[in-house]
Amino acid sequence: MSLRKRLGRGLIAVLGAIFILHWLAADWIIRSAAEKQMANRLADDGYSLLESLGYSDDEQVTFHGVHISSVYNRRLSGHYYLVKVDAQGYPSPSLLDFPLAVEPVGPEQSMLYHAAGPEQTPLLVLTLGAVRFGHRINISVAEDLSAVDHDITAIRVAYLGLTLLILFSAIGLLRWDIQRALRPLATVRAELEQVAGGGRQHIGSEVPAEVQPLVEEINHLLELVARRLQQSRTAMGNLAHALKSPMALLLRTGEDPHFDGRPDLRARLDEQSQAIRHCIERELKRARIAGDQQAAPAFNPHSEIIALKKTLRAIYADKPLDIQITAPKQLLHFDREDMMEILGNLLDNACKWARQRIDVELALDGGVAIRVADDGPGCRSDDLAYLTQRGRRLDESVQGHGLGLGIVADIVGSYRGSLAFGRSKTLGGFLATVTLPLHR
C-alpha cells in the first residue's frame, strides 16, 4: 500500500471517530440543555402548586389549581401535574383519568425523570417532595417531550449535516496536505526511475529531513558503483599495459634471426604467443564491459558513429570504403565505452569483409536497434546457424569473424539484448543486428 493511502486511511479513521464522538457529545449537551430549561419551568409550576397548598378546617390539605397556568386544565394538553398528599392523589384535569406513574421522593427532595404519558407520549417529570401541615406531599409536574423532541431532532439533523460538511472538508484538506507533503518523495521516485534508465547519475538532495539520509545513502551507493567500475576499468587498463609490452617483446623474439634455421620453433612460439594474446585481449575486454549499469553517461550515436567512420576509414585506408550512416542525433543513456565497442567491432568486421559498401543503421523503436550490413561475401547459412548457436563462443567458432563478434555478444548479453546474424537484403553481404532494450 502506498504511504499516501496509508496516511489517508489512518487520518480518515481517526477523524471519523473523533467526529462521531463529538457529535454524540454535542447531541447530549443539546438535549440536556433543552431538558434543563424545561425542568426549570416545571420547577416553577411545581413550586407555585406547593405555594397554593392550604389547610382546610376539616384537617384536609387543599390546593388551588387555578393559581397556575390554564394549560393544566385543557384535556391532554401535554402539561400535567399530580399532587399526592400522603396516599391521596390529585391529578390535573388535563390528565383525564390517565394514571400517571410517578416516583415517590422524600421531603425537601426533587427528582427529574422520564415517564410515559397518555397515548404513549414521552414525558419529562419533576417530582418535588415536601411536608406541609404534618402531611407528606409529593408534587409531580410533567410536560410532553414530543414537541421538544421534534425541535431537537431538527437541530440534530442540522448539526449532523454541519458536522459531516466539516468532516469531509477536513478529509479533503488533509488529503491535499498529505499529497503536498509527499511530493518530494514522488520527485525522488521519478529521479530514481531516471537513474535506473541511465538518465542521471544521482538523485536530487532537496528533500525533507526524514528522507535526506535515504537519498544520501542512495547517492553514495550510486557513486560507489560508478567508482568501482572506473577503478576496475583503470586496473584492467594497467594490467593490459603491463602484459602487452612483454607480449610485444615475445612476438619480436620470434622474429630473431636465430630462429631462421628453425621455422618449426618460430611457428610454435608465434602460435602460442598469439594464443596468449587473444586470451588476454578477450578476457580484458570482457572485464571492461559496464553492461547493465544503472548510471550511464549519455551517448550521442550520430556524432560517435561519424567519428568511428573516420577512424575506420583511416585504419582501412587502402580500401575504398563507402560507409553510410543512419542514426538519430538525440542522446542515448548507454555506456559510451560499451556502445563504441559494439559499433566498433561490428563495423570493423564489416570493413574487413566488405568490398566497398557498408550500411550502419541505429534506430530507436521501443529499444535500440543497430544494423550493420556489408556487400562482402557474407556467411554461409550453416555457418550462420553455427554463429548464433547458444553457448558457442563466437571467437572460437568461425574463422575471420574473430574476437570482435564474441565481445559484441558478451556486451549484448549483459544488456539483456539480442544479437542476430544473417544476409543483408539490400547489400547482399553479412548483416549483424543488435537490439538492446531501452528500459532496463
Partner 1 sequence: MRLLLVEDDPAFFEPLAADLRGAGYIVDTATDGAQGEFLGATEPYDAAILDLGLPKLAGLEVLKCWRDAGNHMPVIVLTARDAWHEKVDGFKAGADDYVCKPFHPQELLARLQAVLKRVHHFNQAKLKVFGVELDEDEQTAMVAGGEAQPLTAIEFRLLRYLMLNAGKVLSKAQLGEHVYSESAEPDSNVLEVYVKRLRKIVGNDLIHTRRGQGYLFGLKP
DSSP string over 75-132: TT-SEEEEEEETTEEEE-GGGTT---------TT-EEEEEEE-GGG-EEEEEEEEEEE
- The sign one gets for the Cα dihedral 140, 141, 147, 153 is negative
Task: Scan residues 348-387 and list those touching partner 1 (CB under 8 A).
Answer: 348, 359, 361, 363, 369, 371, 373
Nearer to partner 1, 35 or 374 (CB): 374
Q: Note whether 232 binds partner 1 by CB under 8 A.
A: no
Residues ≥6 apart with Cβ < 8 Å to 221: none
In this structure, are strands 88-91 and 79-85 parallel, antiparallel, or unpaired?
Answer: antiparallel
State how far the Cα of 139 lies from the Cα of 150, in Å rounded to an integer: 27
Shortest separation between residue 12's beta carbon and partner 1, angstroms: 55
Q: Note whether 43 binds partner 1 by CB under 8 A.
A: no
State how far the Cα of 133 lies from the Cα of 47, in Å rounded to an integer: 16
Nearer to partner 1, 136 or 313 (CB): 313
Which of 251, 383, 386, 440 binds partner 1 (CB under 8 A)? It is: 251
State how far the Cα of 387 lies from the Cα of 321, in Å rounded to an integer: 25
Query: Residue 281: which of 339, 226, 341, 334 has the closest Cα?
Result: 341
- Considering only the C-alpha atoms of the chain, give the largest distance between any 2 of them, rounded to a whole number of Å: 167
CB–CB of 408/282 below 8 Å? no
Q: Note whether 401 binds partner 1 by CB under 8 A.
A: no
Number of residues that bind partner 1 (CB under 8 A): 53
Shortest separation between residue 405's beta carbon and partner 1, angstroms: 14
Nearer to partner 1, 49 or 350 (CB): 350
Per CB under 8 A, which region of 83-91, 169-177, 314-322, 377-385 contacts partner 1?
A: 314-322
Residue 142: exposure state from Cβ atoms within 10 A (0-12, 13-18, ≥19): buried
Nearer to partner 1, 48 or 433 (CB): 433
Shortest separation between residue 195's beta carbon and partner 1, angstroms: 23
Shortest separation between residue 236's beta carbon and partner 1, angstroms: 9
Cell 636465430 -> residue:
258
Q: Note whether 240 binds partner 1 by CB under 8 A.
A: yes
Task: Scan residues 256-275 and list those touching partner 1 (CB under 8 A).
Answer: 273
Shortest separation between residue 271's beta carbon and partner 1, angstroms: 13
Q: Note whether 310 binds partner 1 by CB under 8 A.
A: yes
Q: Note whether 426 binds partner 1 by CB under 8 A.
A: yes
Instruction: Note the residues at the interface with partner 1 (CB under 8 A).
Output: 237, 240-241, 243-245, 247-252, 255, 273, 277, 281, 285, 288, 304, 306-311, 313-315, 317-318, 324-327, 336-337, 340-341, 343-345, 348, 359, 361, 363, 369, 371, 373, 424-426, 431, 433
